[in-house]
Amino acid sequence: MNTNEFSATLSTFGRKGGTVSYTSGTATLADSVKAVVLCTDGNVVYAPRGDPANTITMTGLSAGYVLPHIPGTITEAGTTATLCTVED
């Protein structure tokens, strides 16, 4: 299958990604991020994209878990899991 024949949308699988890194204690994610996946077990503190005032803390998550919202920012304090992005 030639993946270049299909356009990238929120409903398609991501073709790129990377490990989330923090600067100043917060990771601001690019608009190209479609999802965030836990690479290790742990906790995640984040604000959904478009709703920066609403901080969500999820605890006791397993590796492979996909966050239910697309995060706009992830807070290092309280986040114990290693996170990876799914993006185009």
Give the domain CATH number at 61: 2.60.120
pLDDT value at residue 15:
76
Q: What is the pLDDT of residue 66?
A: 96
Cα–Cα–Cα angle for 84, 85, 88, rounded to 5 degrees: 150
Alpha-carbon distance of 3 to 28, in angstroms, equals 28
Which helix (H) or strand (E) is 74 found in, with range?
A: strand 71-75
Read off the pTM. Answer: 0.83
Q: State both tokens at 83.
A: 């996170």
- pLDDT value, residue 9: 66
pLDDT on residue 24: 81
**Token pair for residue 25?**
């204690």
Closest C-alpha among 32, 45, 35, 30 to residue 80: 45
Consecutive 10-residue runs of the chain (88 residues): their mean pLDDT? Answer: 59 78 88 94 97 96 96 96 92
Residue 8 lies in a domain: no
For 47, the domain range is 13-87
Scan for tokens 């990771």, then name that residue.
27
Number of domains in the chain: 1
pLDDT at 3: 53
The amino acid that residue 60 corresponds to is G
In a domain, 19, yes or no: yes
